[in-house]
A = this chain, B = another copy of it.
Amino acid sequence: MTNRPDFLESKIIDVEWGIEVRVVKPCNLYGCKIGDHSFIGPFVEIQEGAVVGRNCRVQSHSFICSQVTVEDDCFIGHGVLFTNDKFTQGKPSYDEDTWQKTYVGSGTSIGSGATILPVRITSNCLIGAGAVVTKDLTEPGVYVGNPARILRKA
């Protein structure tokens, strides 16, 4: 075969940076906003329009997609995956208008390996490692499992 693919490089481009942010490369950050004093680990991708607040940690291998807002003082563990497309038409949508938002309130911590469907998570929640969050979490507490269920209230 002599076809030649179009090779792109992971990049850090068009990011709105707060003060004193630290970033470990390689990572792929584009069109997003990262707040003051936050940390972004290696092998992370953050897409266009995503917002990470101040004093957050986004650990290695995590993926934060478009239409996700993470408020201040949040911890996003290693390998945490956000989503914005619930395949509501029976397949992935490439129309951004059909994507759904995720909101993570301030002070919430998400354990490593958690997967987050497009939901609203209130402040000061703890999401256990490996949890799959499929519904809004409206009260502070500890949530674990697949699908994530409340383990105890905060």
User: A-side interface residues toward B, CB under 8 Å?
Assistant: 1, 3-10, 12, 16-26, 28, 34, 41-43, 45, 57, 60-61, 63, 65, 75, 77-79, 81-83, 87, 90-92, 107, 109, 111-113, 115, 117, 124, 126, 128-130, 132, 134, 142, 144-147, 154
Contact = CB atoms under 8 A, between A and B. Distances in A.
Contacts of A61: 43, 45, 61, 63, 79, 81
Contact of A126 (B42, B82, B87): B87
A113 to B, nearest CB: 4
A60 B65 CA distance: 11
11 contacts: A5-B17, A6-B20, A6-B21, A7-B12, A28-B60, A45-B61, A63-B78, A78-B81, A81-B112, A82-B112, A91-B109
A22 B9 CA distance: 11
Given A21-B3, A129-B115, A57 B145 contact: no
Contact of A9 (B25, B43, B130, B142): B25
Nearest to A132: B130
Contacts of A17: 1, 3-5
